[in-house]
């Protein structure tokens, strides 16, 4: 009995689970076919196989009214019972066949309780507590044009003509409810096998789908890993390139900074050497002048003491416009020579001369540290704090340089009214300490030196005979309209190293200076060239100011101007008016060194001969810029600039080929000898040292077609990148002497 209950429970479990399994299989097949885009239909009671075809399942499970129902909480059983009721269109009738308790006998077969079988396609039977309950299904009316009966089904279905199911219908379906066809019920083993096969197929299908999904995930993961590796490789390569570029830029910046420092150092050294050289030359010239002056004075004194008196015409001293005018030598005594006895002096005349010397020495006592020689008194560095009282009417020259004199009283020059030259340099004179009438007694004064004092204004009431006035290195704070009143004979005026500017200099102050030729205003605070310059001006020096522009009218009146020096200012080529000096016929020398020029200025004077542009930022010499000059530019100095291989055009020197005498292009960035050098027929000196020249072509300096007498004397090309062994001997064939070429040393790459 116990085993019977177990078997009954198993049959009931099969009856309840099998429809759910079939429904799940049909659902998965339906989803698979839907994804593939195919439309397949299965009839009632069919099971989908692996080949995609349907096979009939001869189990018809239609519960009758006596089947015990599961509790309402079991949702799965409720769905199964609802599924097998077949809808409202199907009608069922049950025939009860009596049998034994818990067992049924049907056609000689013993069925356990709750067993279900289908004796025919449209009939389903159930063993319930010893009774056999059968349900016969009635088919609904079909309205399709071609209904068909699938194998194993009792009711016809509407099928498409080309469907797979129609191909399986090889014959006419058996008539529903036809008892002629024997129905063999499935055994428990067959049902278990079917379930196992379905579960195995389901498991295999899930395994295949799982493997496919894992493979897809693996491919996606591998693709992501590959993309991540590629991204990392690209990122690493990008970082490497950025690092290499940064290192390269840093290296180039360091190299550029090093080159700039080297250029600045070389420029500074060159400027120092130039200053030292200029200082040495100035000292040498001054020393030579002093030696010559002393020699001349000594010779004249010796001649005068020996009595060798020559009849000489009186010399008229000329004031030359130079930066340092020599101290005038005292005039020699004029004596008449006897006719027929040249070189001889009467004894009484010699006695008169000796008496005159004694008389001069007796007229005034000199302070300690002072010397007298003929008509010159020198009290330099004698530590004087007051103006010395002198009474020597014949005195012509007085030097009080290097003392501590702070004032000049009103009658200081009463005893020496015939002075022609006064040197008061390096004292402590102030404007308040000089009496307004101090210089009125001097009727023949020609030179007055007041350098390196403490003056804040030009002394008043200066003698009208004054020809040279120097007030350099003082504290002049302005020049008013009357500062140079009555100085119509003034030729040289120096006011360097003061506090002057265009704001405190009255343009009418220079009107009385009708003979002024030489004017120095360096080391002041001018931002523009002063207005009202005298028409007679020949040389103008404005070095070391703050000049930023040159207006078009500033030189309109100075038509006689011959030299302009504007060194160490803040000029660039755009701040020089085109017509500022273009039409000047006498302006021959312009110095624009150490400004802020990037190009050689245009509209230079037609008469220009000397052009100095040292120490600017010049990168280019425009073409035809010298073409309008007559007779032509002779001296061009462009040292310490930024000229490179592209900065000099083939027409840059047009107009100067037959006039250029000296050209200095050293300390630039030239990579080859400039075009046009070989056409300069008057060139004496050429400087190309300290550039980046690597080779010297044969025809770059000397023109082989030029057969006239050569003029080139010296050429300097040291400190380039030239290999002297690779220079052709004919490259310098136009030089007068081979010793005029300087090629060593050279830099290495």
Q: What is the pLDDT of residues 157-171, one digit of tens each?
A: 776 554 444 444 444
- Note the Cα 443 to chain centre separation in Å: 66
The C-alpha atoms of residue 389 and residue 365 are separated, in whole angstroms, by 9
Considering only CA atoms, give the Rg of the chain.
64
Q: Is 443 exposed, middle or buried (0-12, 13-18, 19+ CB in 10 A)?
A: exposed
Of the candidates 159, 186, 213, which is a domain's last residue?
186
The C-alpha atoms of residue 500 and residue 531 are separated, in whole angstroms, by 13
The C-alpha atoms of residue 370 and residue 382 are separated, in whole angstroms, by 7
State the number of CA atoms in the 13 A half-sphere of 502 facing the CB: 16
pLDDT tens-place string over residues 308-354: 332 333 433 333 333 333 333 333 333 333 333 333 334 444 444 44
Between 707 and 247, the higher pLDDT residue: 247
**Contact assessment for residue 500 and residue 479, using Cβ atoms and an 8 Å cutoff:** yes
The C-alpha atoms of residue 446 and residue 316 are separated, in whole angstroms, by 13
The C-alpha atoms of residue 177 and residue 564 are separated, in whole angstroms, by 137
Whether 459 is in a domain gets the answer: no
Flag whether the pTM goes above 0.75: no
Residue from 127, 5, 106, 7 nearest 61 by CA: 127
The C-alpha atoms of residue 15 and residue 353 are separated, in whole angstroms, by 170
Whether 309 is in a domain gets the answer: no
Whether 153 is in a domain gets the answer: yes
Of the candidates 186, 210, 227, which is a domain's last residue?
186
The C-alpha atoms of residue 431 and residue 459 are separated, in whole angstroms, by 7
* Mean pLDDT of the region 86-90: 40
pLDDT at 543 over 50: yes
CB atoms within 10 A of CB 99: 19
**Lowest-pLDDT range, 33-47, 118-132, 154-168, 370-384?**
33-47
**Contact assessment for residue 492 and residue 468, using Cβ atoms and an 8 Å cutoff:** yes
- Percent with pLDDT over 70 in the chain: 72
pLDDT tens-place string over residues 15-65: 666 666 665 556 565 555 555 544 333 333 333 444 444 444 433 333 433
φ, ψ dihedrals at 663, nearest 5°: -140, 120
* Mean pLDDT of the region 521-537: 95
CB atoms within 10 A of CB 649: 17
620 secondary structure, DSSP code? B
pLDDT at 261 over 70: yes
Whether 420 is in a domain gets the answer: no
Q: What is the 3-state secondary structure (H, E, C) of 224-287?
A: HHHHHHHHHHHHHHHHHHHHHHHHHHHHHHHHHHHHHHHHHHHHHHHHHHHHHHHHHHHHHHHH
pLDDT at 320: 35
**Mean pLDDT computed over every residue of the chain:** 77
Residue from 576, 629, 627 nearest 607 by CA: 629
**Contact assessment for residue 699 and residue 673, using Cβ atoms and an 8 Å cutoff:** no
- Note the Cα 614 to chain centre separation in Å: 25
**Contact assessment for residue 495 and residue 471, using Cβ atoms and an 8 Å cutoff:** yes
pLDDT at 144 over 90: no
DSSP letters, 339-368, are TT-TT---HHHHHHHHHHHHHHHHS-PPPT
Whether 104 is in a domain gets the answer: yes
pLDDT at 274: 80
Q: Which of 178-187, 215-224, 267-276, 426-435 has the highest mean pLDDT?
A: 426-435
The C-alpha atoms of residue 265 and residue 688 are separated, in whole angstroms, by 19
User: What is the number of residues in the chain?
Assistant: 749
- Element of type H or E holding 25: helix 2-36
Whether 743 is in a domain gets the answer: yes
pLDDT tens-place string over residues 494-504: 999 999 999 99
Whether 579 is in a domain gets the answer: no
Q: Which residues of 497-524 are buried (b: 16+ CB within 10 A; e: fewer)?
A: bbebbbeebbeebbebbeebbbbbbbbb
Between 505 and 178, the higher pLDDT residue: 505
Of the candidates 168, 186, 204, which is a domain's last residue?
186
DSSP letters, 473-518, are SS----B-TTTTTT-TT--EEE--SS---TTTB-GGGGTT-TT--E
Full residue range of the structural domain in which residue 713 is found:
619-749
Q: Give me the residue label for tokens 């030299």.
A: 563
Residue 705's domain is classified under what CATH number? 3.80.10.10
Q: How many domains does the chain have?
A: 2
326 secondary structure, DSSP code? P
Whether 62 is in a domain gets the answer: yes
Q: What angle do CA 123, 127, 133 make, to 5 degrees?
A: 45
The C-alpha atoms of residue 427 and residue 525 are separated, in whole angstroms, by 24
* Mean pLDDT of the region 514-524: 96
Q: What angle do CA 30, 36, 42 make, to 5 degrees?
A: 30
* Mean pLDDT of the region 127-143: 77
State the number of CA atoms in the 13 A half-sphere of 47 facing the CB: 20
**Contact assessment for residue 176 and residue 124, using Cβ atoms and an 8 Å cutoff:** no
Which pairs with CB-CB distance under 8 Å and at least 24 residues apart come from 339-348? 342/310, 343/308, 343/310, 345/307, 345/308, 345/309
């Amino acid at each position: 009995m116990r085993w019977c209950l177990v078997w009954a429970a198993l049959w009931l479990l099969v009856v309840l689970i099998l429809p759910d399994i079939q429904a799940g299989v049909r659902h998965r097949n339906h989803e698979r076919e839907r994804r593939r885009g195919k439309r397949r239909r299965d009839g009632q009671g069919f099971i989908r196989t692996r080949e995609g075809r349907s096979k009939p399942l001869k189990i018809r499970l239609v519960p009758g009214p006596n089947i015990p129902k599961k509790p309402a909480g079991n949702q799965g059983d409720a769905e199964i019972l609802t599924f097998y009721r077949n809808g409202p269109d199907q009608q069922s009738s049950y025939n009860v066949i009596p049998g034994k308790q818990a067992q049924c006998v049907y056609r000689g077969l013993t069925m356990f309780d709750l067993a279900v079988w289908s004796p025919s396609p449209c009939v389903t039977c159930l063993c319930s507590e010893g009774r056999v309950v059968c349900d016969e299904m009635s088919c609904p009316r079909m309205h399709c044009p071609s209904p068909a009966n699938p194998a194993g089904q009792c009711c016809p279905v509407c099928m498409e003509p080309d469907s797979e199911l129609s191909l399986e219908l090889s014959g006419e379906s058996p008539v529903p409810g036809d008892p002629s066809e024997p129905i063999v019920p499935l055994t428990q083993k067959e049902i278990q096998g079917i379930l196992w096969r379905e579960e195995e197929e389901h498991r295999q299908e899930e395994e295949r789908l799982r493997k496919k999904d894992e493979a897809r995930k693996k491919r996606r993961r591998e693709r992501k890993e590959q993309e991540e590796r590629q991204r990392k490789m690209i990122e690493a390569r990008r970082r490497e390139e950025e690092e290499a570029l940064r290192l390269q830029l840093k290296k180039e910046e360091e190299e550029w900074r090093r080159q700039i420092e080297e250029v600045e150092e070389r420029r500074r050294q060159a400027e120092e050497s130039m200053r030292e050289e200029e200082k040495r030359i100035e000292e040498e010239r001054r020393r030579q002048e002093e030696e010559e002056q002393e020699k001349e004075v000594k010779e004249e004194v010796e001649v005068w003491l020996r009595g060798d008196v020559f009849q000489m015409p009186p010399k008229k001293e000329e004031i030359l416009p130079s930066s340092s005018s020599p101290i005038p030598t005292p005039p020699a005594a004029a004596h008449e020579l006897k006719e027929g006895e040249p070189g001889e002096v009467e004894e009484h005349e010699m006695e008169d001369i000796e008496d005159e010397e004694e008389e001069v020495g007796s007229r005034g006592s000199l302070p300690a540290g002072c010397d007298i020689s003929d008509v010159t008194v020198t009290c330099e560095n004698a530590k004087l704090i007051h103006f010395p009282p002198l009474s020597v009417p014949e005195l012509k020259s007085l030097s009080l340089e290097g003392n501590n004199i702070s004032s000049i009283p009103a009658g200081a020059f009463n005893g020496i009214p015939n002075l022609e030259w006064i040197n008061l340099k390096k004292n402590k004179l102030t404007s308040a300490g000089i009496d307004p009438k101090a210089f009125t007694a001097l009727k023949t004064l020609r030179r007055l030196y007041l350098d390196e004092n403490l003056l804040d204004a030009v002394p008043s009431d200066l003698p009208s005979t004054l020809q040279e006035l120097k007030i350099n290195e003082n504290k002049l704070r302005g020049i008013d309209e009357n500062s140079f009143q009555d100085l119509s004979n003034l030729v040289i005026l120096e006011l360097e190293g003061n506090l002057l500017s265009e704001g405190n200099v009255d343009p009418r102050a220079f009107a009385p200076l009708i003979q002024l030729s030489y004017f120095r205003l360096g080391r002041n605070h001018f931002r523009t060239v002063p207005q009202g310059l005298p028409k007679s001006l020949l040389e103008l020096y404005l070095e070391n100011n703050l000049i930023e522009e040159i207006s078009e009218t500033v030189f309109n009146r100075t038509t006689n101007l011959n030299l302009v020096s504007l060194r160490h200012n803040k000029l660039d080529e755009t701040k020089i008016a085109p017509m500022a000096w273009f039409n000047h016929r006498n302006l021959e020398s312009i110095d624009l060194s150490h400004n802020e020029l990037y190009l050689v200025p245009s509209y230079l004077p037609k008469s220009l001969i000397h052009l100095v542009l040292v120490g600017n930022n010049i990168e280019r010499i425009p073409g035809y810029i010298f073409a309008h000059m007559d007779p032509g530019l002779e001296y061009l100095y462009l040292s310490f600039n930024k000229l490179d291989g592209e900065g000099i055009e083939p027409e840059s020197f047009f107009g100067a080929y037959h006039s250029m005498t000296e050209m200095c292009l050293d300390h630039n960035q030239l990579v080859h000898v400039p075009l046009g050098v070989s056409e300069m027929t008057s060139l004496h000196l050429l400087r190309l040292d300290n550039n980046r020249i690597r080779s010297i072509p044969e025809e770059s300096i000397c023109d082989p077609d030029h057969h006239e007498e050569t003029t080139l004397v010296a050429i300097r090309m040291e400190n380039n990148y030239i290999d002297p062994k690779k220079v052709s001997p004919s490259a310098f064939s136009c030089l007068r002497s081979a010793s005029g070429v300087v090629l060593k040393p050279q830099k290495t790459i």
